[in-house]
Amino acid sequence: GAVVSQHPSWVICKSGTSVKIECRSLDFQATTMFWYRQFPKQSLMLMATSNEGSKATYEQGVEKDKFLINHASLTLSTLTVTSAHPEDSSFYICSARELAGGSDTQYFGPGTRLTVL
Amino acid sequence: GQNIDQPTEMTATEGAIVQINCTYQTSGFNGLFWYQQHAGEAPTFLSYNVLDGLEEKGRFSSFLSRSKGYSYLLLKELQMKDSASYLCAPQDSNYQLIWGAGTKLIIKP
Protein backbone atom coordinates (compact mmCIF):
# COMPACT_ATOMS: atom_id res chain seq x y z
CA GLY A 1 0.00 0.00 0.00
CA ALA A 2 0.91 3.64 -0.24
CA VAL A 3 3.36 5.00 2.32
CA VAL A 4 3.51 8.40 3.96
CA SER A 5 6.53 9.42 5.99
CA GLN A 6 7.11 12.23 8.45
CA HIS A 7 10.35 13.76 9.58
CA PRO A 8 11.39 14.16 12.28
CA SER A 9 9.56 11.52 14.27
CA TRP A 10 10.13 13.46 17.45
CA VAL A 11 11.63 16.81 18.34
CA ILE A 12 12.36 18.71 21.52
CA CYS A 13 12.94 22.42 21.24
CA LYS A 14 13.20 25.52 23.37
CA SER A 15 10.35 27.97 23.67
CA GLY A 16 10.54 30.66 20.98
CA THR A 17 12.21 28.54 18.33
CA SER A 18 10.65 27.35 15.09
CA VAL A 19 10.25 23.72 14.10
CA LYS A 20 9.68 22.34 10.62
CA ILE A 21 7.93 19.00 10.09
CA GLU A 22 8.01 17.28 6.71
CA CYS A 23 5.35 15.02 5.27
CA ARG A 24 6.17 12.97 2.19
CA SER A 25 4.17 10.59 0.06
CA LEU A 26 6.76 7.99 -0.91
CA ASP A 27 5.22 6.15 -3.82
CA PHE A 28 2.38 8.28 -5.06
CA GLN A 29 1.57 11.87 -5.86
CA ALA A 30 -0.68 13.74 -3.50
CA THR A 31 -2.27 16.96 -4.66
CA THR A 32 -3.82 17.27 -1.23
CA MET A 33 -2.28 16.68 2.18
CA PHE A 34 -3.86 17.22 5.57
CA TRP A 35 -2.29 18.24 8.86
CA TYR A 36 -3.78 17.06 12.14
CA ARG A 37 -3.02 17.55 15.76
CA GLN A 38 -3.75 14.91 18.36
CA PHE A 39 -3.98 15.29 22.10
CA PRO A 40 -3.68 12.15 24.22
CA LYS A 41 -6.51 9.70 23.64
CA GLN A 42 -8.46 12.21 21.62
CA SER A 43 -9.59 12.44 18.04
CA LEU A 44 -7.39 13.88 15.37
CA MET A 45 -8.10 17.57 15.02
CA LEU A 46 -7.80 18.82 11.46
CA MET A 47 -5.62 21.89 11.37
CA ALA A 48 -5.36 22.61 7.69
CA THR A 49 -5.66 21.25 4.18
CA SER A 50 -2.60 21.68 2.04
CA ASN A 51 -2.97 21.85 -1.74
CA GLU A 52 0.03 21.65 -4.05
CA GLY A 53 0.78 24.98 -5.62
CA SER A 54 -1.72 26.99 -3.65
CA LYS A 55 -2.27 28.39 -0.18
CA ALA A 56 -3.37 26.07 2.57
CA THR A 57 -6.89 26.19 3.93
CA TYR A 58 -6.92 26.51 7.71
CA GLU A 59 -9.64 25.33 10.03
CA GLN A 60 -11.34 27.80 12.30
CA GLY A 61 -9.24 28.64 15.33
CA VAL A 62 -5.91 27.62 13.79
CA GLU A 63 -3.47 30.50 13.44
CA LYS A 64 -2.07 30.48 9.93
CA ASP A 65 0.83 32.75 10.88
CA LYS A 66 1.85 30.35 13.60
CA PHE A 67 1.44 27.12 11.67
CA LEU A 68 2.98 27.77 8.28
CA ILE A 69 2.20 25.20 5.62
CA ASN A 70 3.99 24.84 2.32
CA HIS A 71 3.02 22.21 -0.23
CA ALA A 72 6.09 22.52 -2.41
CA SER A 73 5.59 19.50 -4.62
CA LEU A 74 3.22 16.62 -5.26
CA THR A 75 5.09 14.53 -2.71
CA LEU A 76 6.04 17.01 -0.01
CA SER A 77 4.22 19.25 2.42
CA THR A 78 5.83 21.00 5.38
CA LEU A 79 4.37 22.36 8.58
CA THR A 80 6.43 24.96 10.42
CA VAL A 81 5.50 25.76 13.99
CA THR A 82 6.82 29.29 14.44
CA SER A 83 7.88 30.67 17.81
CA ALA A 84 6.83 27.46 19.51
CA HIS A 85 5.55 27.54 23.07
CA PRO A 86 4.88 24.74 25.55
CA GLU A 87 1.18 24.72 24.66
CA ASP A 88 2.18 23.74 21.12
CA SER A 89 3.55 20.46 22.44
CA SER A 90 1.52 17.77 20.77
CA PHE A 91 1.48 14.91 18.31
CA TYR A 92 1.26 16.18 14.74
CA ILE A 93 0.04 13.80 12.05
CA CYS A 94 -0.17 14.34 8.33
CA SER A 95 -2.06 12.43 5.71
CA ALA A 96 -1.88 12.38 1.94
CA ARG A 97 -4.75 11.93 -0.40
CA GLU A 98 -4.39 9.61 -3.38
CA LEU A 99 -6.82 9.78 -6.26
CA ALA A 100 -6.24 6.76 -8.47
CA GLY A 101 -8.31 4.31 -10.41
CA GLY A 102 -11.57 5.87 -9.35
CA SER A 103 -10.77 5.59 -5.66
CA ASP A 104 -10.13 8.36 -3.17
CA THR A 105 -7.94 7.19 -0.31
CA GLN A 106 -6.22 8.95 2.56
CA TYR A 107 -2.94 7.56 3.91
CA PHE A 108 -1.65 8.67 7.30
CA GLY A 109 1.90 9.38 8.40
CA PRO A 110 3.40 7.99 11.61
CA GLY A 111 3.25 11.30 13.40
CA THR A 112 5.75 13.75 14.87
CA ARG A 113 5.91 14.25 18.59
CA LEU A 114 6.79 17.85 19.45
CA THR A 115 7.85 18.82 22.94
CA VAL A 116 8.48 22.49 23.62
CA LEU A 117 10.41 23.25 26.79
CA GLY B 1 9.12 -4.86 9.23
CA GLN B 2 6.00 -3.30 10.61
CA ASN B 3 2.69 -4.49 9.28
CA ILE B 4 -1.01 -4.09 9.96
CA ASP B 5 -3.68 -6.36 8.54
CA GLN B 6 -7.41 -5.69 8.67
CA PRO B 7 -10.21 -6.56 6.24
CA THR B 8 -10.77 -4.13 3.42
CA GLU B 9 -14.52 -4.14 3.60
CA MET B 10 -17.31 -5.63 5.69
CA THR B 11 -21.08 -5.54 5.39
CA ALA B 12 -23.54 -5.89 8.26
CA THR B 13 -27.22 -5.35 8.96
CA GLU B 14 -28.70 -2.58 11.05
CA GLY B 15 -29.22 -3.75 14.62
CA ALA B 16 -26.69 -6.56 14.33
CA ILE B 17 -23.21 -7.01 15.79
CA VAL B 18 -19.97 -6.83 13.82
CA GLN B 19 -16.37 -7.57 14.79
CA ILE B 20 -13.51 -5.93 12.91
CA ASN B 21 -10.22 -7.75 13.39
CA CYS B 22 -6.74 -6.30 13.25
CA THR B 23 -3.43 -8.14 13.42
CA TYR B 24 -0.18 -6.27 13.73
CA GLN B 25 3.56 -6.62 13.81
CA THR B 26 5.47 -3.68 15.21
CA SER B 27 8.89 -2.85 16.56
CA GLY B 28 7.90 -2.61 20.18
CA PHE B 29 4.43 -1.75 21.34
CA ASN B 30 2.94 1.18 23.20
CA GLY B 31 -0.76 0.69 22.83
CA LEU B 32 -3.25 0.45 19.99
CA PHE B 33 -5.82 2.95 18.78
CA TRP B 34 -9.06 2.46 16.92
CA TYR B 35 -10.49 5.37 14.95
CA GLN B 36 -13.68 5.87 12.99
CA GLN B 37 -13.53 7.96 9.86
CA HIS B 38 -16.49 9.11 7.82
CA ALA B 39 -15.76 10.16 4.26
CA GLY B 40 -14.35 13.65 4.09
CA GLU B 41 -13.96 13.96 7.85
CA ALA B 42 -11.10 13.65 10.33
CA PRO B 43 -10.69 10.36 12.18
CA THR B 44 -12.58 10.18 15.46
CA PHE B 45 -10.99 8.48 18.44
CA LEU B 46 -12.84 5.34 19.52
CA SER B 47 -10.54 3.47 21.86
CA TYR B 48 -7.04 2.95 23.16
CA ASN B 49 -5.83 -0.40 24.52
CA VAL B 50 -2.45 -0.87 26.12
CA LEU B 51 -3.16 -3.90 28.34
CA ASP B 52 -4.66 -7.24 27.34
CA GLY B 53 -8.38 -7.58 27.61
CA LEU B 54 -11.64 -6.03 26.65
CA GLU B 55 -12.49 -2.35 27.02
CA GLU B 56 -16.15 -1.55 26.73
CA LYS B 57 -17.51 1.88 25.91
CA GLY B 58 -21.20 1.99 25.11
CA ARG B 59 -21.97 0.17 21.89
CA PHE B 60 -18.28 -0.13 21.04
CA SER B 61 -15.78 -2.49 22.64
CA SER B 62 -12.14 -3.11 21.83
CA PHE B 63 -10.05 -6.13 22.66
CA LEU B 64 -6.29 -6.56 22.74
CA SER B 65 -3.98 -9.57 22.93
CA ARG B 66 -0.39 -8.38 22.92
CA SER B 67 1.07 -11.88 22.75
CA LYS B 68 -0.91 -12.62 19.61
CA GLY B 69 -0.50 -9.19 18.04
CA TYR B 70 -4.25 -9.05 17.70
CA SER B 71 -7.04 -6.62 18.39
CA TYR B 72 -10.66 -6.35 17.44
CA LEU B 73 -13.32 -3.69 17.51
CA LEU B 74 -16.82 -4.90 18.34
CA LEU B 75 -19.79 -2.80 17.36
CA LYS B 76 -23.20 -3.70 18.78
CA GLU B 77 -26.70 -2.59 17.85
CA LEU B 78 -25.45 -1.27 14.55
CA GLN B 79 -26.91 1.94 13.27
CA MET B 80 -26.81 3.35 9.77
CA LYS B 81 -24.51 6.13 10.98
CA ASP B 82 -21.90 3.49 11.84
CA SER B 83 -21.19 3.15 8.13
CA ALA B 84 -17.62 4.42 7.97
CA SER B 85 -14.01 3.32 7.75
CA TYR B 86 -12.44 1.91 10.89
CA LEU B 87 -8.71 2.35 11.33
CA CYS B 88 -6.48 0.21 13.52
CA ALA B 89 -3.26 1.96 14.57
CA PRO B 90 -0.76 0.49 17.04
CA GLN B 91 2.11 2.58 18.38
CA ASP B 92 5.64 1.24 18.13
CA SER B 93 8.46 1.63 20.61
CA ASN B 94 8.97 5.25 19.48
CA TYR B 95 5.28 6.01 19.88
CA GLN B 96 4.93 6.24 16.11
CA LEU B 97 1.51 5.30 14.79
CA ILE B 98 1.48 2.43 12.33
CA TRP B 99 -1.66 2.78 10.29
CA GLY B 100 -3.73 -0.01 8.80
CA ALA B 101 -5.50 0.60 5.51
CA GLY B 102 -8.81 0.71 7.30
CA THR B 103 -11.94 -1.41 7.07
CA LYS B 104 -14.86 0.06 5.23
CA LEU B 105 -18.01 -0.95 7.07
CA ILE B 106 -21.26 -0.90 5.13
CA ILE B 107 -24.50 -1.08 7.12
CA LYS B 108 -27.63 -2.25 5.32
CA PRO B 109 -31.20 -1.75 6.54
| Closest-CA residue to A21 (of A86, A85, A82) | A82
Residue B88 is classified by DSSP as E
- pLDDT of A47: 94
Angle B26-B31-B36 from CA coordinates, rounded to 5°: 100
Q: Is A93 helix (H, G, I), strand (E, B) or coil?
A: strand
- pLDDT of B84: 96
pLDDT of B83 > 70? The answer is yes
CB atoms within 10 A of CB A80: 15
β-strand pairing of A112-116 with A10-13? parallel
Question: Of A42, A108, A113, which has the smallest distance from its Cβ to B95's Cβ?
Answer: A113
pLDDT digits (tens, 9 = 90+) for A70-114: 998 999 999 999 999 999 999 999 999 888 777 778 889 999 999
CB proximity A10 to B under 8 Å: yes
Residue of A nearest to B50 (CA): A41
Mean model confidence pLDDT for chain B: 93
Is the bond preceding A40 in cis, omega lying within 30 degrees of 0? no
- A1 min Cα distance to partner chain B (Å): 8
Q: Determine the Cα–Cα distance for residues B5 and A99; give it in Å rounded to an integer.
A: 22
What are B's interface residues with A at a Cβ cutoff of 8 A?
A: 35, 37, 42-45, 48, 87, 89, 94-99, 101
pLDDT of B79 > 80? The answer is yes
pLDDT digits (tens, 9 = 90+) for A33-78: 999 998 877 778 899 999 888 889 999 999 999 999 999 899 999 9
The answer to whether B96 contacts A41, with C-beta atoms less than 8 Å apart, is no
